[in-house]
Structure 1
Amino acid sequence: MPVGEKEGFGENPQSEFSADLREEMLKETPQFERVKLGEGGRFVIPASMREKMGVKPGDTLIAHVEDGELHVLSYEENLRRIQEDVSSYKKPGESVVDEFLAERRAMWGEE
C-alpha cells in the first residue's frame, strides 16, 4: 500500500454530529412502518402516512394488489393518475366535453 493511504474505515471518516440535522431527520415521515393486521383484516394507516397521503378518516381510498404488494391511494390521487394517463389521447385544443355534447345533441335531434 502506498505511503499516506488509509485502509479500512479510515478511508471515509464519519461526518460530525449535527443536532440540527438530527432534528430535521426526525421530522421526516418514515418510509416504512410496522402495522399489525387485526380482526377482519383491518389495519391502521399511521397518522404521519395519512398526512403525507392527504387523507383523513371517512375519505374514500382505492386499493389494489400488484405483485403481492398492497397499494393504497387516495381517491383524488387515483383520479389524478387516471387523468394523466388518458391525457395523451387528447389532442391540443380539443374539448372532449364539447364533442360529447355535440354528439348527444345530434343524437337527440337538437342540431
Structure 2
Amino acid sequence: MPKQSKRPGFSEQSQASYNTRLREELLKMPPPRERLKLGDGGRIVIPAAMREAMGVKPGDTLIAHVEDGVLHVVSYDMNLRKIQADMQKYKKPGESIVDEFLAERRAMWGEE
C-alpha cells in the first residue's frame, strides 16, 4: 500500500450529515427560471413545477398581460383572491356591501 502524503489541503474531512428533510424541501421548490420554447401558434408549455407553484391544472383559466415587455401569467382564482384582498381595506368592519346593495335596489324598485 502506497504511503499517503501529508500535504496541507488534501486531507480528508468527514462529510456533514445528510439532511433528507432539507433535500425534500429543495426538490419541492420550483426552479426560479426556466427556458421555454415558443411553439406553433405562439404556444408555450408551463413546466409542471411552475404549474404546481401557481396552483393551476389543465383546463384552468389563466390571465395574462404584458408590462414593460414582460409576460405575466396568473391563475384566474389567484387574481380574484388578490383583488378581494386589495379591496378589503375599503370595507368597514361589520359592513355588508351585498346587503347595502340589495337595500338600495329594493328601495329603488319600491319594495321597501
Normalising by structure 2, we get a TM-score of 0.77
**Counterpart residue number, 1:48:** 49
**Counterpart residue number, 2:39:** 38
How far, CA to CA, are the matches of 2:90 and 2:99 in structure 1? 16
Q: Which amino acid aligns with 1:68?
A: G
Deviation at 1:17, TM superposition (A): 8.0
- CA shift digits 1:24-68 (9 cap, x unpaired): 434421111111001111100001111111111111001111222
**Counterpart residue number, 2:76:** 75
Cα RMSD (Å) = 1.9
- Structure 1 runs, 4 residues or longer, greater than 6 Å off: none
Shift in alpha-carbon separation, 1:92–1:51, aligned structure 2, 3 A: same
Deviation at 1:23, TM superposition (A): 5.5
User: Which consecutive residues of structure 1, in runs of 5 or more, have no partner in the other structure?
Assistant: 1-14
How far, CA to CA, are the matches of 2:18 and 2:84 in structure 1? 43
- CA shift digits 1:48-106 (9 cap, x unpaired): 11111111111100111122211111111000111111111111111000000000000
Q: Secondary structure at the match of 1:55?
A: coil
Which structure has the bigger radius of gyration? 2
Shift in alpha-carbon separation, 1:110–1:68, aligned structure 2, 3 A: same
**Counterpart residue number, 1:8:** none
Deviation at 1:19, TM superposition (A): 6.5
User: Which consecutive residues of structure 2, in runs of 5 or more, have no partner in the other structure?
Assistant: 1-14
